[in-house]
A and B are shown apart, each in its own frame.
Chain A
Amino acid sequence: MTLQVRKFDAIVVGAGGSGMRAALELARSNLKVAVLSKVFPTRSHTVAAQGGIAAPLANSTEDNWHWHMYDTVKGSDYLGDQDAIEYMCRRAVEVVVELEHMGMPFDRLENGRIYQRPFGGHTQNYGSNKMAMRSCAAADRTGHAMLHTLYQQNVRTNTQFFVEWMALDLIRDPQDGAVVGVTALEMETGEVCIFQGKATLLATGGGGRIYWATTNAFINTGDGLGLAARAGLPLEDMEFWQFHPTGVAGAGVLITEGVRGEGGYLLNKDGERFMERYAPNAKDLASRDVVSRAMTTEIKEGRGCGEHGDHLMLKLDHLGPEVINQRLPGIREIAIKFANADPIRDPIPVVPTVHYQMGGIPTNYMGQVVAPEGASKEAIVPGFYAAGECACVSVHGANRLGTNSLLDLVVFGKSSGEQMLKDMRGQPAPHRALPKDAGDLTRARLARLDSAASGERVVDVLNDLRRAMQAHCGVFRFPDDLVKGVARVEEIAARAKRTFIQDKSKTFNTARVEALELDNLIETAMSTVVSAEARKESRGAHTRSDYPGRDDKNWMKHTLWYKEGNRLDYKPVHQKPLSVEPFEPKVRTY
């Protein structure tokens, strides 16, 4: 069976914030562009972002990109690349104003300007104890407002979407490793095609479903990471996972940090506002890694709330019904539905919950994927781009600041689109020939699933993986657990090769999709636990009991994990910004 080939100039995989922002940039040309998405674009997980998008508009407090840059570098625990961080912060005002011009329904101030709220780790004047109001918000539905606006603009520009198509494997030219396309499965028909392109962008989001307790949607299965890893490319800094301080206990659903930005705070079982002990200045608005560690410590030391002492309380009733209904209506809805608590009267039970993957496919700030080759640690992989949560630019380093993720999506979605246009203009007209074995890997994976009559159930392997990650690679990490975790995930990965599905239908076979997603989750989990075991220090979201301090001498470097041989490599952090003086590493306190 040969696969049908569909030719495009550019291929975008993923239709969340970064994929659709890139698609808009590509729409400015008369090139042929395909945007593939596993779900209808407005179902992408960007839709669930709540609190806001960072930009130093200075609508309510004095602000500028230098301060934003400092906060982001510090928030990253100095692992972020300072050139990329400068680039992002300098373009923030431009991309947010563009979103407003596109029609995004931001909340407004009395003077008609965009409403901004404080958020964790965002300060004035290089980390002073005055918070910057930098988070541009549409109530507590900023992601929804942004994603729908971007989709609407893509309707206007007539973007060609391939909805409910799942990308399966990258196709690379063996000559120079250039990416020349992807294979993809149309869910409705079961048809598999090759999408051949001169430029391929992965914008597939994160893989937070590797954990048991996660704010992530079912679809967040690290698909782009799996594609890149299987194609021999490294994944960067995968040990760094953000635990959001406020997931609804037991349900995992996100409660925005904007609640604390508006004045809410956390309490332990004694009714104590414990963050005052851990972060005397910023208190509840310290960085997320700091707050999540504090909460986990409170729970471990017996000050958790509830029958099992396994969560804490987020109090916001003192904000009054007016603020809650106007600024946090979605939170109220979620708390009533998922926690049986109306925040106008009752506190919300919350617990640190996996939320965001700081690592991903290594790129530069123009979205070009870079990997070690010869003497270079960062050789450009021709024709291959990544943006958004699946990419590691790296602007978030070891810990992301709230509201910087939506900003990352639009800044690097846009810059990737710009770079793809530039690179395609420089290319000769015809497509490169596809390699002879194009599509073989995909065919083999599908054939195995179709023919397997017995084996491991996908759901069992998946649940074991998620439990293993939760137990072995959490907020605090212990050396024995990490070593056992690697062995455990290796064992589970072997089982994942023996999965079988009963459903063999061609039509909308979700069992097949879930089996294929499991492969991507395995790569995501393996890279995480192997990278975490190896990093012998504590930095940002990676906290080890045996190495409690940050070790800049030995570990101020990015991890690169390769699937082949479970091998690790490292590369230096870009400590030199584009135009300003570097921010030298300091002890990080809030």
Chain B
Amino acid sequence: MKLSIYRYDPDKDPKPYMQDYDVALDQSDRMLLDALVKAKVLDDSLSFRRSCREGVCGSDAMNINGKNGLACITKVAELPDHVTLRPLPGLPVIRDLIVDMTQFFKQYHSIKPYVINNDPPPERERLQFPEEREQLNGLYECILCACCTTACPSFWWNPDKFVGPAGLLQAYRFIADSRDQATAERLDNLEDPYRLFRCHTIMNCVDVCPKHLNPTRAIGHIKELMVKRSV
């Protein structure tokens, strides 16, 4: 398998370049991450993040032949023999495939990603009925890999102002939680020409989400709530 990988080490490289690796795979190398680990055996300076290697920690998001995805659950068998790997677009590159995710997490933090409930906590669990809990499916599973947000042209243009699909998906996760009491406050927080309304339903986010979540639909729900409360 041939990997063309974006390389940049600010310590020594005046500018980024692409480097090719020929990686000999054996039967146990099922995923793209396995190929990357093999490439790192050839060249220990090749830098990328990885951890769980099963698609749940969100470390190894990257741009794979032009499309964002997780290396650890991208099957080698489903890729062409020549694969081009670049860092996630739209975020500053620290080194090689490692991007600076500060802006991404800043937007996530800005939506107050925690249940707000000011009632004194009961002795036992707060009750939540299965149909209420059902509302959280497709939302809480987000792994914060940033595949979606960094595939979004609106985020590329306004990373400091537009919350982005991952953050908005989580904003709706808390609005949708029957235990949360801060819907009005959450809508106020997004009532702004940029934070929510820069989403133009381009739907790149839906296309790339490795967990098959649908941020565009969540954003639609928030917009509906905005309209409802204004009439």
Contacts and interface: CB of A to CB of B under 8 A. Distances in A.
Interface string B39-63: 0110111011111111111110000
A43 B30 CA distance: 22
A483 B206 CA distance: 55
22 contacts: A43-B52, A45-B51, A47-B57, A48-B56, A48-B57, A57-B124, A101-B117, A105-B133, A107-B130, A110-B129, A114-B125, A138-B140, A156-B112, A156-B114, A188-B94, A217-B51, A217-B52, A334-B54, A503-B45, A505-B9, A505-B12, A507-B95
Given A43-B58, A110-B130, A103 B179 contact: yes
A337 B141 contact: no
Contacts of B83: none
Interface in A491-526: 501-503, 505-511, 514
B51 A502 contact: no
A218 B124 CA distance: 37
A152 B113 contact: yes
A225 to B, nearest CB: 18
Interface of A: 39-40, 42-45, 47-48, 57, 96-97, 100-103, 105-114, 138, 141, 144-145, 148, 152-153, 155-156, 188, 217-219, 250-251, 253-254, 330, 333-334, 337-338, 457-459, 501-503, 505-511, 514
Contact of A48 (B41, B54, B180): B54
A43 B55 CA distance: 11
B24 interface: no
A97 B45 contact: no
A145 B141 CA distance: 8
Interface of B: 9-12, 28, 30, 40-41, 43-45, 47-59, 73, 75, 94-96, 98, 101, 105, 109, 112-115, 117, 121, 123-130, 132-133, 136, 140-141, 143-144, 174, 177, 179-180
A119 B53 CA distance: 25
A105 B57 CA distance: 18
B75 to A, nearest CB: 7
Contacts of A337: 55, 73, 75
A514 B125 CA distance: 43
Contact of A508 (B50, B95, B140, B141): B95
Question: Which of A100, A145, A254 has its CB near the most chain B CB atoms (within 10 A)?
Answer: A100
Contacts of A114: 125
A459 B73 CA distance: 23
Task: Please name the 7 residue pairs, one residue from A and one from B, whose CB atoms are nearest each other, closest first.
Answer: A103-B115, A112-B127, A503-B45, A511-B44, A152-B114, A100-B125, A43-B57
A217 B140 contact: no
Contacts of B114: 102-103, 152-153, 155-156
B125 A507 contact: no
Nearest to B12: A505
Question: Which of B54, B75, B96 has its CB near the most chain A CB atoms (within 10 A)?
Answer: B54
B128 A112 contact: yes
Question: Which of B48, B51, B117 has its CB near the most chain A CB atoms (within 10 A)?
Answer: B51
Given A102-B115, A156-B114, A505 B11 contact: yes
A42 B52 contact: no
A502 B47 contact: no
A501 B98 contact: no
A113 B52 CA distance: 31
A155 B75 contact: no
Given A100-B126, A101-B126, A508-B95, A43 B59 contact: yes
Contact of A506 (B11, B140, B141, B179): B11
A338 B126 CA distance: 37
Given A100-B126, A338-B30, A108 B41 contact: no
Given A108-B130, A511-B44, A511-B45, A113 B125 contact: yes
Given A39-B59, A108-B130, A110-B129, A501 B54 contact: no
A365 B27 CA distance: 46
Nearest to B141: A141
A108 B128 CA distance: 7
Nearest to A144: B56
Contacts of B105: 40
Contacts of A217: 51-53, 57
A510 B47 contact: yes
Contacts of B43: 502
B140 A105 contact: yes
A155 B109 contact: yes
B212 to A, nearest CB: 9
A304 B29 CA distance: 23
Nearest to B108: A155
Given A39-B51, A97-B123, 13 more contacts: A40-B101, A42-B144, A47-B56, A97-B125, A112-B129, A156-B112, A156-B114, A218-B50, A219-B51, A253-B53, A505-B12, A508-B98, A511-B44
B101 A508 contact: no
A501 B51 contact: no
Contact of A101 (B121, B132, B136): B121
A200 to B, nearest CB: 24
Nearest to B34: A251
B168 to A, nearest CB: 16
B44 A502 contact: yes
A338 B54 contact: yes
A42 B143 contact: yes
A108 B129 contact: yes
A457 to B, nearest CB: 8
A43 B121 CA distance: 29
Question: Which of A47, A141, A188 has its CB near the most chain B CB atoms (within 10 A)?
Answer: A47
A96 B126 CA distance: 12
Question: Which of B45, B56, B112, B124 has its CB near the most chain A CB atoms (within 10 A)?
Answer: B56
Contact of B130 (A109, A148, A152, A219): A109
B94 A507 contact: yes
Nearest to A337: B73
Contacts of B112: 156
Contact of B44 (A250, A334, A501): A501
A507 to B, nearest CB: 5
Nearest to A147: B57
A458 B128 CA distance: 51
Contacts of B48: 510
A45 B50 CA distance: 12
Contacts of B124: 57, 97, 113
A45 B58 CA distance: 11
Contacts of A109: 130
Contacts of A97: 123-125
A148 B12 CA distance: 37
